[in-house]
Amino acid sequence: MSKKYKIGFLPGDGIGVDVLEASKAILDIADFNAEYIPLDIGFKIFESEGDALPSRTVEALKNCDAALFGAITSKPRTDPSVQKVEQEFGVTYRSPIVRLRQVFDLYSNMRPSKSYEGNPLNFRKIDGSVPHIDIVTFRENTQGLYSGIEFESLIPELKNIDSFKAFQDRTKATDENIRISCRVFTKEGCDRIIRKAFDYAKTTGRNKVTVVHKANVIRATDGLFLEIAKEIASEYPEVDWWDENIDATAMWLMKRPDEYSVIVSSNMFGDIITDQAAMLSGGLGFAASASTSEKFGVFEPNHGSAPKYAGQNKVNPIAAIKSIALMWEWLGETNLSEKLENSIAENVKTGKIRTYDMGGTSSTTDVANDIARIFGEK
């Protein structure tokens, strides 16, 4: 391997530190020439500096090929600890991971959900059978309800819109008692994430895509999403596709998850259904994601910072380890990615070294070290 990669290393808060540190067991023995650059992000940094994503972190990442990320603690603005920092530094808290996605235009959030043989947490049907689940969801990652465009009262520009007048007449809400979060879609944003899903389905031979929306109610934004999906689908005659309302997808995932292959959806809908899909295939301890543009990617477990478990060396590190496999795949190091994926599968199937969520007594580092051992022997 000739190229030397520069990889940002962002443990963040809580168990993000635990799982990312444990994952070094794999990085240390892999034939992957890289420099790992530790960088600051998260609520602890916000408390000490008033910025959960310092400019030095952003600037350093601009010189990296990719980044591995652990987890962050995010709290509502009503939390006293948030208010204290906001008052001290004269700032407003914003989620650093959402900002990171927007700064680097990481529009594609790919989240695989896969059932491993021997996993006691796998979904079981009513007859006791365990279906093989292998779903890859593409979630638009920079727009929608997570765009960050919000108002804490009714702004004057909206007061003269007929629909708002009707809303106020119906609810009797005063201007100061209204809160607004904007759901903003663009044609480009819809096009590139839907096209990413169809490209993936075609190139991987899956040839099946489900477009998830709520166009029958959210007519402007999801109407656009569905319209563009139909246009793009016509360019992929070899891909079987259908569209579903988000509530229908949530229902059918619980009944026949093995019928899904590639799913594409908007930011919030994708966030919700991927957590649901994760619970069908082992839980958040197995859920990893790749947030990417064409030039940069951030790879992370989907779980939060779980402060009550922080520092206990207790939680499942497999999601963080799967994040490494996703990073290698995106960088074109497919042999390493496949080797690590197979090592994870062998650890789960053998079942001798498991964390508490799987009914075991092993530690975070025990599991990571075992996967590293298997990886090194392959």
Q: Is the pLDDT of residue 2 over 70?
A: no
Residue 346 and residue 247: Cα distance in Å, rounded?
35
Closest Cα partner for 100 from 42, 51, 53?
A: 53
Residue 77: what pLDDT?
Answer: 84
User: What whole-number percentage of the chain has pLDDT above 70?
Assistant: 99
Helix (H) or strand (E) holding 299: strand 297-301
Encode pLDDT of 24-56 as tens digits.
999 999 999 999 999 999 999 999 999 999 999
Q: Is the pLDDT of residue 279 over 90?
A: yes
Residue 220: what pLDDT?
Answer: 96
Dihedral class, residue 246 (left if φ above 0, else alpha if ψ from -120 to 50, else beta): alpha
Q: Is the pLDDT of residue 70 over 90?
A: yes
Average pLDDT over residues 303-315: 96
Residue 1: what pLDDT?
Answer: 53
DSSP reduced 3-state for 349? helix
Residue 180: what pLDDT?
Answer: 93
Average pLDDT over residues 52-69: 98
Residue 319: what pLDDT?
Answer: 98
Q: Is the pLDDT of residue 240 over 90?
A: yes
Residue 113: what pLDDT?
Answer: 97
Residue 245 and residue 73: Cα distance in Å, rounded?
31
Average pLDDT over residues 284-293: 97
Residue 4: what pLDDT?
Answer: 93
Quickly count: other Cβ atoms within 10 Å of residue 93's Cβ.
21
**Mean of per-residue pLDDT scores for the chain:** 96
Residue 225: what pLDDT?
Answer: 98
Dihedral class, residue 54 (left if φ above 0, else alpha if ψ from -120 to 50, else beta): beta
User: How many residues does the structure list for the chain?
Assistant: 378
Average pLDDT over residues 339-354: 98
User: What whole-number percentage of the chain has pLDDT above 90?
Assistant: 92
Closest Cα partner for 17 from 343, 353, 365?
A: 365
Quickly count: other Cβ atoms within 10 Å of residue 324's Cβ.
24
Domains annotated for the chain, with CATH where assigned, are: 1-107+297-378 (3.40.718.10), 123-146+185-280 (3.40.50), 148-182 (no CATH)
Q: Is the pLDDT of residue 157 over 60?
A: yes
Q: Is the pLDDT of residue 65 over 90?
A: yes
Query: pTM, whole model, 2 decimals?
Result: 0.95
Q: Is the pLDDT of residue 154 over 70?
A: yes
Write the DSSP string, 166-208.
HHHHHH---GGG--EE--B--HHHHHHHHHHHHHHHHHTT--E
| Segment 303-308 long-range contacts (CB within 8 Å, at least 24 positions apart) | 303/15, 303/71, 304/14, 304/71, 304/72, 304/73, 304/74, 305/12, 305/13, 305/14, 305/15, 305/16, 305/42, 305/43, 305/70, 305/71, 305/72, 305/73, 306/14, 306/15, 306/71, 307/13, 307/14, 307/73
Average pLDDT over residues 252-275: 96
Average pLDDT over residues 99-116: 97
Average pLDDT over residues 264-268: 98
What is the β-pairing status of strands 297-301 and 66-71?
parallel
- Give residue for tokens 């650059």: 37
Residue 172 and residue 49: Cα distance in Å, rounded?
42
Average pLDDT over residues 170-190: 95
Encode pLDDT of 321-342 as tens digits.
999 999 999 999 999 999 999 9
Encode pLDDT of 192-236 as tens digits.
999 999 999 999 999 999 999 999 999 999 999 999 999 999 999
Average pLDDT over residues 17-30: 97
Residue 211 and residue 293: Cα distance in Å, rounded?
21
Q: Is the pLDDT of residue 160 over 90?
A: no
Average pLDDT over residues 310-318: 97
